[in-house]
């Protein structure tokens, strides 16, 4: 089984959802730049203050801030690692390549219409970062996290307008990573439409 996995794919393609399942079933450690940045915003750190305006606009946080943050996290990570939301630019991918070898870049392919539906109806846990969907993956008790009991919320960047900006940013800045990892012989694309469990079966096969 591969030990370093980069999860690629547009916003809402299921990177966080599939990453969580890989952690529960196979003991991966997931490093999610989105979760780290939201935590920094919540705690009002210097990084959080700088990142918030980019996140709210659906733009990428500048490379130097992200690469600095991830260098420390990657250095501290032990065992099998999933990178969710990093790298997102060629510059970030080069920085990652200097620090560790990537075994597989798993690209979740989902069409735009489905992405907008998924994101605008997503609900997230502010405490344990679990994600739900009002229709496809609803919590057992409305508005409450199944895992830790915290009150669920809607992310500030999960509005339709911001989602469209995030998709544009993805196409301009992150899609080139598909060719980048393909050129290195590391890319595997998985069709990301279907039930969460159906996609997980495909993901498991891809990482063997």
Q: Which parts of this chain interact with ligand AP5 (CB under 6 A)?
A: 9, 11-17, 33-34, 37, 54-55, 58-61, 66, 85-86, 88, 92, 118-119, 122, 131-133, 136-137, 157, 166, 194-196, 199
52, 88, 118, 186: which one is catalytic? Answer: 88
Q: Catalytic residue at 38?
A: no
> What is the smallest separation between the CB atom of 77 and ligand AP5, expressed in angstroms?
16
Phi and psi, residue 87, nearest 5°: -80, 160
Q: Are 130 and 147 in contact (CB under 8 A)?
A: yes
Q: Are 124 and 155 in contact (CB under 8 A)?
A: yes
Q: Which residues of 124-155 are buried (b: 16+ CB within 10 A; e: fewer)?
A: bbeeebbbbbeeebebeeeeebeeeeeebeeb
Q: Catalytic residue at 123?
A: no
Q: Catalytic residue at 88?
A: yes
Q: How far apart are CA 43 and CA 49, in angstroms?
A: 9
Count other C-beta atoms under 10 Å from residue 11's C-beta.
Answer: 24
> What is the smallest separation between the CB atom of 118 and ligand AP5, expressed in angstroms?
3
Beta-bridged to residue 141, according to DSSP, are: none
- What are the tokens at 154? 């809607």
> What is the smallest separation between the CB atom of 35 and ligand AP5, expressed in angstroms?
7
Q: Catalytic residue at 117?
A: no
Q: Catalytic residue at 15?
A: yes
> What is the smallest separation between the CB atom of 176 and ligand AP5, expressed in angstroms?
14
Q: Which residues contact 205 (CB under 8 A, 6 or more apart)?
A: none
2, 71, 73, 155: which one is catalytic? Answer: 155
Residue nearest to ligand AP5 (CB): 34
38, 80, 118, 166: which one is catalytic? Answer: 166
Q: Are 106 and 6 in contact (CB under 8 A)?
A: yes
> What is the smallest separation between the CB atom of 196 and ligand AP5, expressed in angstroms?
4
Q: With 0-12 CB in 10 A as exposed, 13-18 as middle and 19+ as buried, what is 175? A: middle
21, 30, 122, 123: which one is catalytic? Answer: 122
Tell me the catalytic residues: 15, 88, 122, 155, 166
């Amino acid at each position: 089984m591969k030990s370093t996995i980069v999860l690629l794919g547009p916003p809402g393609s299921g990177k966080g959802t599939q990453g969580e399942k890989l952690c529960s079933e196979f003991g991966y450690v997931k490093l999610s730049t989105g979760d780290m940045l939201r935590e920094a915003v919540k705690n009002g750190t210097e990084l959080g203050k700088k990142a918030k305006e980019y996140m709210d606009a659906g733009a990428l946080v500048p490379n130097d801030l992200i690469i600095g943050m991830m260098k420390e996290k990657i250095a501290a990570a032990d065992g099998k690692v999933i990178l969710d939301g990093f790298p997102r630019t060629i510059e970030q991918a080069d920085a990652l390549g200097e620090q560790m070898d990537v075994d597989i870049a798993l690209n979740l392919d989902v069409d735009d219409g489905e992405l907008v539906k998924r994101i605008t109806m997503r609900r997230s846990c502010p405490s344990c970062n679990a994600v739900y969907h009002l229709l496809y993956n609803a919590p057992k008790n409305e508005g409450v996290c199944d895992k830790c009991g915290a009150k669920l919320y809607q992310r500030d960047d999960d509005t339709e307008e911001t989602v469209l900006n995030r998709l544009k940013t993805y196409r301009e800045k992150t899609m080139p990573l598909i060719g980048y990892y393909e050129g290195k012989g590391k890319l595997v694309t998985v069709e990301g439409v279907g039930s969460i469990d159906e996609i997980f079966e495909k993901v498991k096969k891809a990482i063997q």
